[in-house]
Structures are given as C-alpha cells and as structure tokens.
Amino acid sequence: MHDSPMNAKALEFNAEETLRRAGLQKTAQRLAVLDLLARTAEPLTAADIFQRLPEEQRVNRVTVYRILSSYTRKGIIREFESKKGIHHYEWAQPLVPPHPHFNCRTCGTMICMTAFLSPCPWEQVVNRPDFIIENISISGLCGLCRQQNE
Ligand SMILES: [Zn+2]
Ligand SMILES: [Zn+2]
C-alpha cells in the first residue's frame, strides 16, 4: 500500500531534528509551534497557532510571529496570504511540494489541494520558466458559506 502524504508527514516528522538541521536553537516554544504546524493538515494563521498552543507553551503574539518568520526564512514552513490578506503558514514537508490552496472568500477557510501533488512544473503552467512560484490560490465559497448564501 502506498502511504498518503499525510501518513508520511506523521512518520517522518521530528521537530528537534528539523531545528538542529536549520541551525536554530531548541526552545520549548519553537518546538511547540513546529509540532503544531506539522500535526495540522490545513494551513494555520498566527492567531490559530497562538490559540492552539498548549497552555504551558503559550507565548505572546510577538514571539509567535518571530518564530514563524525565522521558520519561513529557513524554508521550514511556507507562508502565503489569503484573499483577505491574512497570512497562513504550513509545514514545508519535503515530500509535499508546493500545491494550490482553496480559499473561501467569505469565512477564509483554507484547504490544501494535495491532489495536485505529483511534481507539477508550476513555472511551466504559468509559462515563465524563470519565475519562482510561491503561492497557487483558488478561491470560491465553502459548503457552509454556500448554504448560508442560498
Ligand atoms: Zn466559507
Ligand atoms: Zn497546503
């Protein structure tokens, strides 16, 4: 049987090893943020992360932003904006290449479209091989918002 990307994610993740390889000092907060991102299937906002951190690892928002920006710089996580300009973050799992995200224009729900995981030459899709693609976004209405709209 073939492992789904999510299974591979769960199997291969080691927060301490990831920090060590990135040359980042190990702190309880850094580990907690990374652990949370690696365990969550959908991208999270800084506010989501802040709320979901375990009580004992809860730090101020500034620290959360600082951790997220160092992770983005090191390529450990990917950052992208929603239609409404809200920043989302996801673990840049090596086996999961960049993929499109569905973004609900009403509630902001962000969903990974991992069906597009087979290595897709997005630069060729855009027809600009010299470009670097950082975000592929598809927007619309989620099921819940669609019901409320009808
Ligand atoms: Zn919605
Ligand atoms: Zn994603």
Among all bound ligands, the one having the nearest atom to the CA of 99 is 2
Cα–Cα distance, 48 to 86 (Å, whole number): 12
Span from the CA of 105 to the centroid of ligand 2 (angstroms): 17
Which tokens go with 116? Answer: 């597009």
Span from the CA of 141 to the centroid of ligand 1 (angstroms): 5
Q: How confident is the model at residue 4 (pLDDT cuts 50, 70, 90)?
A: very low
Span from the CA of 9 to the centroid of ligand 1 (angstroms): 26
Please state, as a whole number, how many other Cβ atoms lie within 10 Å of the Cβ of residue 102: 14
**pTM of the full structure:** 0.80
Which tokens go with 80? Answer: 């992208």
Span from the CA of 7 to the centroid of ligand 1 (angstroms): 27
Average pLDDT value for the chain: 85
Q: How confident is the model at residue 70 (pLDDT cuts 50, 70, 90)?
A: very high
Cα–Cα distance, 134 to 123 (Å, whole number): 10
Per-residue pLDDT of 108-144, as tens digits, reads: 999 998 876 566 677 777 888 888 877 888 899 999 9
Q: Which domains, from first to last, does the chain contain?
A: 5-149 (1.10.10.10)
Cβ atoms of residues 102 and 108 within 8 Å: no
Cα–Cα distance, 67 to 49 (Å, whole number): 11
pLDDT at position 61 over 70: yes
